[in-house]
Amino acid sequence: MCSSMLLKCRADGKVKHCRIKREDRLFTIGSASFESLNELVEYYKKTPLYRKMKLRYPVTDQLLIQHGRVRYISAAETLNAF
């Protein structure tokens, strides 16, 4: 079974996208393969993923809210939209 997902990260002030392919039990970016996503993340915390960029921390909903990047829509706003 082969599937893929997308890793989004910010480098040089721009959003970069890396495709992670999953084949059987391996996760692959380029020619590097890992047995888990945790292993992949730990590796790219120490090794540059793009130019000199290494992974530093995950982006959570809370972090996006804190930096004003996300605005949640209330149930009332959702109902009024239709």
Q: What is residue 53's DSSP assignment?
A: B
CA 78 remoteness from chain centre:
27
More reliable by pLDDT, 48 or 50: 48
Tokens representing residue 18 in the block: 């890396």
pLDDT value of residue 28: 94
pLDDT in tens, 51-65: 888 988 887 778 777
What pTM does this model have? 0.67
Alpha carbons 38 and 41: distance in angstroms, whole number: 5
Alpha carbons 78 and 74: distance in angstroms, whole number: 6
Domains by residue range for the chain, with CATH = 2-80 (3.30.505.10)
Direct distance between the N- and C-terminal alpha carbons of the chain, in angstroms, rounded to an integer: 40
